[in-house]
Amino acid sequence: MYAIIGVVILIVMVFGGFAITGGALGPVMEAIPHEMLIIGGAAIGATVAGNSLHELKLIGGAFGKIFKGPKHNKQDHIDAIILTSRLMKLLRSEGPVALESHVTEPKNSALFAEFPRLLANHALVDLIADTLTLIVVSSGTLEVHAVEEVMDNAMKTHFHEMHEPQHALQTLADALPALGIVAAVLGVVKTMGSIDKPPSILGAMIGSALVGTFMGVLLAYGIVAPMAGRLKQVIEADEQIFHAVKQMIIASLHGYPQPLVVESARSGLGHANRPGLSELLDSLRGR
């Protein structure tokens, strides 16, 4: 939502300011479609050339994240802590056999079914289920630091993939000013081929060429780079729920008291998604 508002403000202030100071919008508007054909086409071509189909799909989906914001809200983070707490409690009280059916087939688990929004996050469910399956099949013989290392590797791989669209957008933002210069140079070449024209015509042609440089810089620093930055914020916010789950599992395996286990997960959450400790403990007791 804020991304859309920001783009609208950008366009209104840039073009409105130009018009208010006496600039003629007509020649600029006339030149933009032609310059954008060159700049936009080059940008799309470079993006396609530099990414596989998998990454291109991720880039397409990234715009939804930019405009919608983080996938999980505060209640989802509370639910993730509650779900993990219940699974670890089941492991402690009834043993690996009781836990096995829940983690080997989480889609058919009554525990997971209580949290449909979490169940829709396949990567998160896989992290929980795969880690606890590893504990189940090892009959509790794994050392805690080994489990933590496995979880860290799984999260690192997933986070790397999550950040690929953001890196692609930032690379595109860095390239757009140069692509704008390419469009401007082509405009100058066209102008030089009409050097015998009257000054009024040459002036219009040179101005049209400079619109390419203007559009390249505006797109880079006014739209694409801010979107890449916003995407990074959203991705980092989406990572927090994974860290909370990891802390719950690792602290539980260490045998810490429940308040300390909960606090280890809660304290790593950003302020927007961090519940109060008393609120979280009350939610756990209510389940």
Q: Is the pLDDT of residue 1 over 80?
A: no
Query: What does the pLDDT look like over 174-209, one tens digit per residue?
Result: 999 999 999 999 988 888 888 878 877 878 788 888
Q: For 116, how many CA atoms within 13 A lie in the half-sphere containing its CB?
A: 0
Q: What is the dihedral of CA 146, 152, 158, 164, to 10 degrees?
A: -140
* Confidence grade of residue 285 (pLDDT, cut at 50, 70, 90): confident
Cα distance between residue 46 and residue 102, in whole Å: 46
Classify residue 123 as exposed, middle or buried by CB count within 10 Å of its CB (0-12, 13-18, 19+).
middle
Tokens in use for 78? Answer: 């509370």
Q: Which one-letter amino acid corresponds to residue 85? A: S
Q: Is the pLDDT of residue 287 over 70?
A: no
Q: Is the pLDDT of residue 75 over 80?
A: yes
Tokens in use for 21? Answer: 């100071």
Give φ, ψ of 255 to 5 degrees: 80, 25
Query: What does the pLDDT look like over 15-40, one tens digit per residue?
Result: 999 899 888 888 888 888 989 999 99
The H-or-E segment that residue 126 falls in is helix 122-137
Contact 3, 66 (CB under 8 A): yes
Task: Provide mean pLDDT across the span 260-277.
Answer: 90
Name the residue among 283, 139, 286, 164 with its Cα closest to residue 235: 164
3-state secondary structure at position 268: coil
Question: How far, in whole angstroms, is CA 208 from its chain's centroid?
Answer: 36
Q: Supply the pLDDT for residue 140.
A: 64
Find the helix packing angle between 25-49 and 144-192, rounded to 10°.
Answer: 130
Exposure letters 212-244 (e unless 16+ CB within 10 A, then b): bbbbbebbbebbbbbbbebbbebbebbbbbbeb
Find the helix packing angle between 53-68 and 25-49, rounded to 10°.
Answer: 130
Residues 6 or more apart from 157 whose CB is under 8 A from it?
none
Q: Supply the pLDDT for residue 280.
A: 85
Tokens in use for 13? Answer: 């202030």
Cα distance between residue 243 and residue 167, in whole Å: 22
Cα distance between residue 95 and residue 256, in whole Å: 18
Q: Supply the pLDDT for residue 286.
A: 67
Percent of the chain with pLDDT over 90: 62
Q: Is the pLDDT of residue 222 over 70?
A: yes
Q: Supply the pLDDT for residue 168.
A: 94
Query: What does the pLDDT look like over 97-121, one tens digit per residue?
Result: 888 889 999 999 999 999 999 999 9
Sign of the CA dihedral running 50, 53, 58, 64: positive
* Confidence grade of residue 147 (pLDDT, cut at 50, 70, 90): very high
Contact 109, 145 (CB under 8 A): no
- Per the listing, tokens 């609120």 go with 279
DSSP 57: H
Query: What does the pLDDT look like over 224-254, one tens digit per residue?
Result: 999 999 999 999 999 999 999 999 999 999 9
